[in-house]
Every structure is written in structure tokens, then in C-alpha cells.
Amino acid sequence: MTPYRILWLVFIYLGATGSLELIWSVADTLNGLMAIPNLVSVLFSIPLLLRLKKEFFKS
């Protein structure tokens, strides 16, 4: 079995046996953590966006 399948099975078991409040708390936390890579990518793209904005308004 691949590690992905094992992790998937663990989460299925936890979802079936855990309390509903715990499941929603974990889901909210993981959804919030998904913002981190997006914010990092936005920060890295700021120089490019500023350059493109400058070129756009120059013409």
C-alpha cells in the first residue's frame, strides 16, 4: 500500500469514529492552513505584478 492510501484509511477511520465537533475543527484548521502556500506565492509574485502594472499604465 502506498503512504497516500494508508493516510486516507486513517482519516476515514477517524472520520467515522471521531466526534462531529472534532471533525469540523480539523477540517476548519486544514482549510485555514491551505492559505499559507497561496499567501507565499502571492508574496513571491509581487515584483512581477508591480512590473506588469508599471508597463500597462506606461502604454
pLDDT tens, residue by residue, 14-30: 889 989 999 899 899 99
Least Cα distance to 37 among 49, 28, 45, 47 occurs for: 45
Give the pTM. Answer: 0.56
Q: What percent of the chain is predicted at pLDDT more than 90?
A: 83
**C-alpha span between 12 and 25 (Å, rounded):** 16
**C-alpha span between 30 and 44 (Å, rounded):** 23
Is residue 13 pLDDT above 90, yes or no?
yes
Computed over every residue of the chain, the mean pLDDT equals: 94
Is residue 9 pLDDT above 90, yes or no?
yes
**C-alpha span between 41 and 58 (Å, rounded):** 26
Is residue 59 pLDDT above 90, yes or no?
no
Q: Which residues contact 23 (CB under 8 A, 6 or more apart)?
A: 14, 15
8: number of Cβ within 10 Å: 12
